[in-house]
Amino acid sequence: MTNTDILLEAGTNELEIVEFFLSEDLGGEKYQGFYGVNVAKVLRIINKPDVTEMPNTPHPCVLGAFNLRSRIIPLVDLGLWLEKKSIQSASSKVIITEFNRVVTGFMVSGVTRIHRLSWNAVEPPDVYIDDFSGGSITGVVQIEDRIVFILDLERILAELNPGLSMTLDVEMVSDTESGYIAYIADDSNLIRNMIADLLEKAGFKVVKFKNGQETWDELLKIKDLCSRENRPLSSILHVVVSDIEMPAMDGLTLTKKIKEDPTLGALPVILFSSLISDRLSHKGASVGADDQISKPEISLLAQKAMTLIQQRL
């Protein structure tokens, strides 16, 4: 299977996931757990390749690396990462992903199929699931007769290689009191707080939301307030920073709604996501995003937000 383009139209609040399973030995009985990953992150799916061990790997789940079309790719055993007693098989598959501008192979027991879903169908994990998975699950969805967990592959990679996680470059953060107001939409509490901390250090006032739907509901209230009091939008809000992958309403749909609205359309929108890449940036452009930043480049966010606001004002 290869994935060179995403067929979904941007801004429809839909996603496609590759469903896969991990086989586990539970006291002599075979158990299969079902998981999913956004198709937008998948480059291809292959049979398990020959793997060369690497010295000083950060975790036993990093099995080594393999060569694919003259590219050396690390291989992570997802079963080992999730601390499962995985059943190894000659039919094991490797899902090759690209996000945060990094290519990685994840070994799984098998792949079932691709599902097209609405983000409305994806529920955030409850406290029990979040604790049980060590924070490795971002969404839960019912498909036919089974529960499918959407894995947070970004978190897994960041823990395996801290050099890939987001860090703030303090030299790029201004301490001036700009007074600008920013809305942040991201389903990750950790990332919401990191963005807020960055923007607040740059003098912004920040309001945080868990998904695009919450953000859109508040924007409609602001629109109504501006109309009733004959106030310019810029007296209340100056920029929206949004993730793409979020339950209820994704960032592409949120951006499209903002840009198609006569009152809200002039509001700068920055997409801040692990999905920003040369391969997928056309999605954000098609819905009118003013800028797109890949998540590891968080230090650029305040600078670019400030530039967009000043251009508008």
Lowest mean pLDDT among 97-111, 161-175, 198-212, 227-241: 161-175
What angle (nearest 5°) sits at the alpha carbon of residue 133, between those of residues 132 and 134? 95
CATH fold for the domain made of 166-312: Rossmann fold (3.40.50)
Average pLDDT over residues 128-139: 81
Average pLDDT over residues 167-188: 73
Architecture category of domain 14-163 in CATH = Beta Barrel (2.40)
Q: Is the pLDDT of residue 82 over 80?
A: yes
Helix (H) or strand (E) holding 14: strand 14-26
Q: Provide the β-strand partners of residue 273.
A: 294
Q: Is the pLDDT of residue 119 over 80?
A: yes
Q: Would you state the torsion angle of the CA atoms of residues 256, 7, 276, 66, taken in this order, to the nearest 10 degrees? A: 170
Q: Is the pLDDT of residue 203 over 60?
A: yes
Alpha carbons 260 and 276: distance in angstroms, whole number: 22
Smallest Cα–Cα separation from 258: which of 247, 269, 243? 269
Q: Is the pLDDT of residue 2 over 50?
A: no
The residues spanned by each domain of the chain are: 14-163, 166-312
Tally of residues, the chain:
313
Q: Give the pLDDT of residue 171.
A: 55
Q: Give the pLDDT of residue 6.
A: 44
In contact, 239 and 312? CB cutoff 8 Å: no
**CA distance to 70, 111, 124, 193, 309, per residue, from 96 (Å):** 15, 12, 25, 30, 38
Structure tokens, 25:
């030995």
Q: Is the pLDDT of residue 272 over 50?
A: yes
Distance of CA 224 to the CA centre of its chain: 31
Q: Give the pLDDT of residue 167.
A: 58
Average pLDDT value over all residues in the chain: 88
Q: Is the pLDDT of residue 285 over 90?
A: yes
Query: What is the pTM for the complete model shown?
Result: 0.83
Name the pLDDT band for 55 (thresholds 50, 70, 90): confident
Q: Are strands 269-273 and 291-294 parallel, antiparallel or unpaired?
A: parallel
